[in-house]
Amino acid sequence: MPRLPAGRGGHTIFTDHRIAIYTPQELARLRAASSVNGSTPASSEDELVPWHNPPPQFAERNLGLAYARVGSELELLPFTRRGYQLLVSAWNDFPNDPVLLRAMGQIISGTKQEADAEALYDKALAAEPNSTLLYYDKALAAEQAGDGNNAIGCGYFLATSFRHFTG
């Protein structure tokens, strides 16, 4: 392979793609402004609003999932609590929805209700038996509950399922 002088090398090799458009101070001001104009919740009293209206039967479920996710990601307990309340309310309409069950399990996993979370994960796994995400969450809940055998069983499933992806 012929060698080229560094000046004639590939663009991506020699270019720093982290070129800043804004100074750190400008970036901080822009981020602060985004919480004022509604891009992120400014406080836990803010409300989430869907950007489009889903079919009526999914409205409560989807809003609950949104509150649960935003509450978890931004560590806003009132949002997480509101999400859980909406999900519990929607559970009757979606008793076997693995997404709803997983979100509920994730919320209660860290609240000394790991056994209840494991039951939710089991119910979700009945609907989606090969979900590595559900097995991972169930393993965490089992480990937190002190159920080492169940955690190891979930870990075994995860280890063997990843083997299928890696060849």
Number of domains in the chain: 1
Weakest mean pLDDT among 14-23, 47-56, 105-114, 122-131: 14-23
- Would residue 56 count as lying in a domain? yes
Q: What is the pLDDT of residues 31-80, one digit of tens each?
A: 665 555 555 565 656 788 888 888 999 999 999 999 999 988 888 889 99
| Separation between Cα atoms, residue 113 and residue 115, nearest integer Å | 6
Domain with 58 in it: 41-166
- DSSP code, position 6: G
- Residue 96 pLDDT more than 90? yes
CATH number at residue 118: 1.25.40.10
pLDDT at 105: 94
- Would residue 110 count as lying in a domain? yes
pTM of the model: 0.69
Q: Are 83 and 71 in contact (CB under 8 A)?
A: yes
- Would residue 32 count as lying in a domain? no
